[in-house]
Chains A and B, each alone.
Chain A
Amino acid sequence: MTTINENRPAQGLRADDRRDEEVHDSTKPLGGIAGWVDDRVGAAKGVSFLLKKVFPDHWSFMLGEIAMYSMIVCLLTGAFLTFWFVPSQTLVPYDGSYIPLQGIMVSDAYRSTLDISFDIRGGLLIRQIHHWGALIFIVSVFAHMARVFFTGAFRKPREINWVFGTILSMLACIEGFAGYSLPDDLLSGTGIRAMNGFVQSVPVIGSYMSYFIFGGAFPGEAIVPRLYSVHILLIPAILIGLFTAHILLVFVHKHTQYPGPGRTNNNVVGYPLMPVYIAKAGGFFFMVFGVITLISALFTINPIWAYGPYDPSPVTAGSQPDWYMGFADGALRLLPGWLEFVSWGDFTWSMNIFPGSILLLPIMWGIIGAYPFVESWVTGDKREHHLLDRPRNAPTRTAIGVAGITMYLVLFFAAGNDLIAIKLHLSINDITMALRTLFFVGPPIAFWITKRICLSLQRADRQKVLHGRETGTIWRYPDGRFEEIHAPLTPNERWPLVQHEVPEPLQISAQKDENGVDSPIARKERLRAKLSHFYFVDRVGPVTPSELEAAHHAHDEPHAALPAGEHEALESTGAGAERESIKADKRLD
């Protein structure tokens, strides 16, 4: 394939553009402590390289930053919490200052969490910052992931980083689950009990796995200490390691940027780390931290004192996990019971549980992690991509993403089927049946609608380029007609709408070779050709200069006598002009 962007860098960068290589004359010699350090580690070169690093600006790039900062907030507050939390399920009488529970036998984990909430000054604040921070961490991870997906930022050379991110997002969910199970309250205990059911559902080894995890029969006294070491040591260590690699790769690859005037596949246009991004990104850390703190000051989260200590027998109506585990809970609510069966040899297969719990997570994240490789195989595109796609310009990818999100949302809402039933006065059976249907029907519908919207938006872009933007100025003609004036786009306005490439579907060049023998390559490539067709059969190409020229000519001919500017307004009256542009679209297909 021709590599447009590589061959054609921005022609007219501004004359006074600042280059990263620029060295300022007024530099002072390195002295003092910095000089002392550099004498010993020689970091000046690396530091100046880092500080000159350029980052592009866009609000959507802050989603990943929110994730990074809320994770740091959780690490910080989590370290505080370990000073008071006791990860033990030994039963002790509660003697703290929360009156309703005084004298009741509770586990030490629960007691110490109550103490953090009521008897340690500021402890509740730290605990709530930790929990709110975790929720914001995971939601921003997913939002960041969606941004990367829909803009195609996962393409070469960033596939590895996408896989790292995929693992990070899965670990974040597991970390969250382990964390909210620690207080050993009724709600989280019910979650652990359900988890025990999931584990038992694994064919062949399920019962043994359950006994391994709980150190014997459920619930035992091992699960909280074990989840504790998972939550504060094992997963955080992997999280921090992978996160560091994730950020390092961003530095190595340099950040992607949205298309715009002056931005090419071969440059990064933005602001240097020092001072702009140090202030903006550093400041943003404080903003995220500050907002999480304000939320934690004003809104209660996970009031474990209201749930009571864990006990396997009480009723817990409206039991729901934290939101990020909702989709798995929803999958369990939708799977019908008849999927469980007993096979030859009296073995029980819990297929009403296993696929929706233990299998779901690796399948979901496996598909997400594999996507960049599938797409690059289908498109055959092995070039580096540093310019982001506008989601409309990759209609099939965008539609696949929306279909996936739809599937996820169906499961997510299924986890609240009881609450929906109560709040909306509907039958829970009807809701569940509807969601079961939607799980299969919803994604294809979402795919189709999204793709059509993307194609329409692309056509709207074409219209805008060919005929200009609506000015809102109404022109009245001597014969009484009204028309809106369209103003032609400036080259800077036009560029983001015409800069993208639209690949054509790949075709098999010949089914048979010159001797009439079936080509083995053709057989191998059939699936790929089909998928390529699926991806790119509906394509709306960007306007080319000759098309724009043709559009102008088409206008000019019937209205040659009109002054400049007017012909834009008249185009929609002459049926010819409007039709012409649509025909131009069709020709491209």
Chain B
Amino acid sequence: MNDNETTAPGESGALVSATQGGVVEQSQAGAVDRFDNPGLPPHVHRLADDDELAAKRAERQVATMFGLSMLGALVFLVAYFVVPDEATFYFPGIGIASTQNVVLGVSLGISILMIGLGAVHWAKTLMPDTEVVEERHLQASSPADRAKAVAAVSKGGEAAQLPRRPLIKYTLGGALGLFALPLGLQVAGSLGPTDVEQLKTTIWDPAYNDGKPIRLMRDPEMTPIKLEDVTNGSVFHVMPETLQKFIDDGKHVLEAKAKAAVILIRLDPELIKVQKARDWGVDGTVAYSKICTHVGCAVGLYEQQTHHLLCPCHQSTFDLTEDCNVIFGPAKRPLPQLKIQVDDAGYLVAPQGFDQPVGPSFWERLR
């Protein structure tokens, strides 16, 4: 029962309190120099304890609250059928509110709240408020009870011949240890396909378009973009032409979009400081993956003055003039650039996919 000390107090090197006697200072007489617990303070009577009028008043207050609760419930029952679904009204300080939600909610709230207020008021005014004292006992069982429990367990084990039959003991252990594995394997193994190589590809890969360059399309209209439509400083949210097939099939649209989203921006070519970034664009029109390299939110906030792209989730900031390098925030890698050209019809196309996986980092990203 006594797990009091990690080391026996008498041993050399054991921890002791600074003044050997423990926390309590001893006075000369040997008595503990502490104040005595003065015991429970005298009970202070409430108004309703002594005054029958006050008690009556409390009774009426409690009954009023319970009455209001009934009223609230009745209002709810009526309002449920009476208040039209689309009605709205102006609630001062809150704004335009749905009448139905407010009336139903307030009446239900009052009918519930008043039960609570009534009950608590009842308890506080009329129920006895003299404290009751209950004794505590040590949490641990008595040594005898403990011994009995130990005996029951060991006797049971002996009766089952566990100590004498080690073969049963070990095979049972093995069986219990193994039986959960098939269940665990089933659930973990069948949760999903594991073609994680998919993480490295997008539908900007010309393979999705029979090897031909892929047109840049406005998102969500899915119309192609001419170079001259892209005025200086303008921003286009772009999806590949190949997405249309997914939309038509109605399958895996979001999975495709989740990696293919691209942002197209035109700025003064002189401002672009990196030769590759200029080469992969057309006259200062450049396209970058819109999927943040941090955890994958859509990087959609473009600051025209500073040419910064900002991710709204965790504020990673990418500098468009520096090939979308990270200049602030928790992302590490620049946004991957999509090489674009103008095709014979004058539309913007991507002749090749991204040269690296887009979106957040993952373990096998570079392998």
Asked whether B360 is an interface residue with its Cβ less than 8 Å from the other chain, the reply is yes
Interface residue total, chain B, C-beta cutoff 8 A: 124
Asked whether A218 is an interface residue with its Cβ less than 8 Å from the other chain, the reply is yes
Asked whether A315 is an interface residue with its Cβ less than 8 Å from the other chain, the reply is yes
B294 / chain A contacts, CB cutoff of 8 Å:
197, 332, 337, 352-353
**B108, chain A: closest CB distance, angstroms:** 5
Identify which of B28-36, B150-158, B173-181 touches chain A: B28-36
Among candidates A9, A200, A291, A503, residue contacting B23 with C-beta atoms closer than 8 Å: A503
B43 / chain A contacts, CB cutoff of 8 Å:
14
Interface residue total, chain A, C-beta cutoff 8 A: 162
- Contact between chains at B16 and A217 (CB < 8 Å): no
- Contact between chains at B312 and A286 (CB < 8 Å): no
Among candidates A2, A268, A377, residue contacting B134 with C-beta atoms closer than 8 Å: A268
Q: A200-B362, A337-B332, A348-B362 are in contact. Are A261 and B120 (CB under 8 A)?
A: no
Cβ < 8 Å to A, chain B residues 218-260 = 219-220, 237, 239, 250, 252-255, 257-258
Cβ < 8 Å to B, chain A residues 323-343 = 329, 332-340, 342
Among candidates A197, A290, A296, A432, residue contacting B295 with C-beta atoms closer than 8 Å: A197
| Minimum CB distance partner of A283 in chain B | B119
| Minimum CB distance partner of B316 in chain A | A337
Cβ < 8 Å to B, chain A residues 504-518 = 504-514
Identify which of B161-169, B277-285, B322-330, B341-349 touches chain A: B322-330
Q: A1-B22, A197-B295, A297-B106 are in contact. Are A207 and B363 (CB under 8 A)?
A: yes
- Contact between chains at A342 and B366 (CB < 8 Å): yes
Among candidates B37, B98, B135, B359, residue contacting A499 with C-beta atoms closer than 8 Å: B37
| Minimum CB distance partner of B43 in chain A | A14
- Contact between chains at B314 and A4 (CB < 8 Å): no
- Contact between chains at A380 and B5 (CB < 8 Å): yes
A348 / chain B contacts, CB cutoff of 8 Å:
361-366
Cβ < 8 Å to B, chain A residues 85-136 = 91, 97, 118-119, 121-122, 124-125, 128
- Contact between chains at B139 and A510 (CB < 8 Å): no
* A504 vs B16: C-alpha distance when bound (angstroms): 9
**A327, chain B: closest CB distance, angstroms:** 14
- Contact between chains at B102 and A297 (CB < 8 Å): yes
- Contact between chains at B300 and A314 (CB < 8 Å): yes
Asked whether A447 is an interface residue with its Cβ less than 8 Å from the other chain, the reply is no
Q: A353-B294, A519-B12 are in contact. Are A275 and B123 (CB under 8 A)?
A: yes
Among candidates B23, B113, B192, B326, residue contacting A212 with C-beta atoms closer than 8 Å: B192
Cβ < 8 Å to A, chain B residues 191-222 = 191-196, 198-199, 219-220
Identify which of B52-60, B124-132, B264-272 touches chain A: B124-132
| Minimum CB distance partner of B135 in chain A | A267
Among candidates B80, B101, B116, residue contacting A287 with C-beta atoms closer than 8 Å: B116
Cβ < 8 Å to A, chain B residues 107-148 = 108-120, 122-124, 127-136, 138-139
**B315, chain A: closest CB distance, angstroms:** 6
**A28, chain B: closest CB distance, angstroms:** 19
- Contact between chains at B328 and A298 (CB < 8 Å): no
Asked whether B39 is an interface residue with its Cβ less than 8 Å from the other chain, the reply is yes
* A430 vs B191: C-alpha distance when bound (angstroms): 44
Among candidates A222, A261, A418, A522, residue contacting B39 with C-beta atoms closer than 8 Å: A261
* A205 vs B329: C-alpha distance when bound (angstroms): 26
Asked whether B7 is an interface residue with its Cβ less than 8 Å from the other chain, the reply is yes
Identify which of A188-196, A405-413, A561-569 touches chain B: A188-196
- Contact between chains at B123 and A280 (CB < 8 Å): yes
| Minimum CB distance partner of B110 in chain A | A290
* A316 vs B300: C-alpha distance when bound (angstroms): 8
Among candidates B15, B25, B331, residue contacting A380 with C-beta atoms closer than 8 Å: B15
**B136, chain A: closest CB distance, angstroms:** 5
* A428 vs B220: C-alpha distance when bound (angstroms): 31
A316 / chain B contacts, CB cutoff of 8 Å:
297-298, 300, 312-313
Residue with the highest number of chain B CB atoms closer than 10 Å, among A197, A432, A494, A505: A197
* A76 vs B54: C-alpha distance when bound (angstroms): 39
**A424, chain B: closest CB distance, angstroms:** 15
Q: A294-B113, A492-B38 are in contact. Are A521 and B11 (CB under 8 A)?
A: yes
* A208 vs B193: C-alpha distance when bound (angstroms): 9
**B131, chain A: closest CB distance, angstroms:** 5
B109 / chain A contacts, CB cutoff of 8 Å:
290-291, 293-294, 296-297
* A495 vs B38: C-alpha distance when bound (angstroms): 7
Among candidates B86, B94, B192, B254, residue contacting A312 with C-beta atoms closer than 8 Å: B254
| Minimum CB distance partner of A333 in chain B | B314
Q: How many A-B residue pairs have CB under 8 A?
A: 454
- Contact between chains at B32 and A332 (CB < 8 Å): no
Asked whether B171 is an interface residue with its Cβ less than 8 Å from the other chain, the reply is no
B34 / chain A contacts, CB cutoff of 8 Å:
4, 8, 498, 542, 544-545
Q: A298-B97, A495-B35 are in contact. Are A314 and B112 (CB under 8 A)?
A: no
B254 / chain A contacts, CB cutoff of 8 Å:
219, 310-312
Cβ < 8 Å to B, chain A residues 135-191 = 157, 190
Asked whether A374 is an interface residue with its Cβ less than 8 Å from the other chain, the reply is no
A193 / chain B contacts, CB cutoff of 8 Å:
258, 295-297
- Contact between chains at A298 and B91 (CB < 8 Å): yes
- Contact between chains at A262 and B15 (CB < 8 Å): no
- Contact between chains at A12 and B38 (CB < 8 Å): yes
* A491 vs B5: C-alpha distance when bound (angstroms): 35
**A87, chain B: closest CB distance, angstroms:** 17
Q: A11-B36, A219-B255, A312-B298 are in contact. Are A429 and B328 (CB under 8 A)?
A: yes
Asked whether B18 is an interface residue with its Cβ less than 8 Å from the other chain, the reply is yes
- Contact between chains at A333 and B298 (CB < 8 Å): no
| Minimum CB distance partner of A252 in chain B | B139
Q: A262-B37, A286-B115, A340-B361 are in contact. Are A382 and B4 (CB under 8 A)?
A: yes
Among candidates A13, A208, A212, A432, residue contacting B315 with C-beta atoms closer than 8 Å: A432
Among candidates A54, A196, A382, residue contacting B296 with C-beta atoms closer than 8 Å: A196
* A219 vs B21: C-alpha distance when bound (angstroms): 67
| Minimum CB distance partner of B128 in chain A | A276
B35 / chain A contacts, CB cutoff of 8 Å:
491, 494-495, 498-499, 543-545
| Minimum CB distance partner of B2 in chain A | A382
Asked whether B186 is an interface residue with its Cβ less than 8 Å from the other chain, the reply is no
| Minimum CB distance partner of B312 in chain A | A317
Q: A270-B131, A521-B7 are in contact. Are A287 and B22 (CB under 8 A)?
A: no
* A324 vs B42: C-alpha distance when bound (angstroms): 45
Asked whether A284 is an interface residue with its Cβ less than 8 Å from the other chain, the reply is yes
Asked whether A426 is an interface residue with its Cβ less than 8 Å from the other chain, the reply is no
A352 / chain B contacts, CB cutoff of 8 Å:
294, 330-332
* A272 vs B112: C-alpha distance when bound (angstroms): 24
Among candidates A19, A290, A382, residue contacting B133 with C-beta atoms closer than 8 Å: A19
* A10 vs B41: C-alpha distance when bound (angstroms): 12
- Contact between chains at A211 and B194 (CB < 8 Å): yes
| Minimum CB distance partner of B38 in chain A | A491
Asked whether A457 is an interface residue with its Cβ less than 8 Å from the other chain, the reply is no
**B241, chain A: closest CB distance, angstroms:** 15
| Minimum CB distance partner of A533 in chain B | B18
**A216, chain B: closest CB distance, angstroms:** 5
A211 / chain B contacts, CB cutoff of 8 Å:
192-196
- Contact between chains at B135 and A190 (CB < 8 Å): no
- Contact between chains at A312 and B196 (CB < 8 Å): no
* A197 vs B333: C-alpha distance when bound (angstroms): 14
* A521 vs B329: C-alpha distance when bound (angstroms): 50
Asked whether B290 is an interface residue with its Cβ less than 8 Å from the other chain, the reply is yes
B331 / chain A contacts, CB cutoff of 8 Å:
337, 352
Q: A200-B199, A269-B134, A319-B297 are in contact. List 12 more A-B contacts (CB 8 A).
A: A13-B39, A18-B132, A54-B134, A119-B85, A196-B360, A262-B41, A340-B361, A384-B138, A509-B14, A523-B13, A545-B34, A546-B27
Q: Which 5 A-B pairs have the closest CB atoms?
A: A297-B105, A290-B113, A197-B295, A315-B300, A283-B119
- Write the residues of chain B forming the contact surface with A, with a CB cutoff of 8 angstroms: 3-7, 11-19, 21-25, 27, 32-43, 80, 85-86, 91, 94, 97-98, 100-102, 104-106, 108-120, 122-124, 127-136, 138-139, 188, 191-196, 198-199, 219-220, 237, 239, 250, 252-255, 257-258, 261, 290-291, 294-298, 300-301, 312-316, 326, 328-333, 359-367
